[in-house]
């Protein structure tokens, strides 16, 4: 079994690819990311929180939970 740190680091590029074309108006939740990556909800939440802290993705807090979207890189 791989350590969680290694799993999260290996999944970051895939999560960024999923969120690349997602706008704040169409932000997606943790469950959808977990489903697309075929991982547990808690692992997806950790992954998304790390990417948000690194400012690679954005997050909108809603009554239904956190919704995530890809950030547009400045040119």
Query: Which CATH number is 26's domain given?
Result: 1.10.10.10
Question: Is 16 within the bounds of a domain?
Answer: yes
Number of domains the chain contains: 1
Question: Is 57 within the bounds of a domain?
Answer: yes
Question: Is 75 within the bounds of a domain?
Answer: no
Question: Is 22 within the bounds of a domain?
Answer: yes
The domain of 11 spans 4-70
- In angstroms, the CA 67 to CA 20 distance is 14
Burial of 66 (0-12, 13-18, 19+ CB in 10 A): middle
Tens digits of per-residue pLDDT, 43-71?
Answer: 999 999 999 999 999 999 999 899 999 98
Question: Is 55 within the bounds of a domain?
Answer: yes
Beta-bridged to residue 69, according to DSSP, are 58
Residue 1 has pLDDT above 70, yes or no: no
Q: How confident is the model at residue 5 (pLDDT cuts 50, 70, 90)?
A: confident
Question: Is 27 within the bounds of a domain?
Answer: yes
DSSP state of 75: -
Question: Beta strands 28-29 and 57-62: pairing type?
Answer: unpaired
Q: Is the pTM of this model over 0.85?
A: yes
- In angstroms, the CA 62 to CA 25 distance is 12
Residue identified by tokens 């400012």 is: 55
């Amino acid at each position: 079994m791989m350590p969680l740190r290694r799993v999260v680091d290996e999944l970051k590029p895939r999560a960024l690819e999923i969120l690349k074309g997602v706008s704040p108006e169409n932000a997606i939740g943790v469950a959808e990311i977990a489903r697309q990556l075929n991982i547990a909800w808690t692992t997806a939440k950790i992954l998304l929180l790390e990417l948000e802290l690194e400012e690679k993705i954005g997050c909108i807090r809603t009554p239904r939970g956190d919704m995530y979207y890809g950030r547009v890189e400045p040119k």
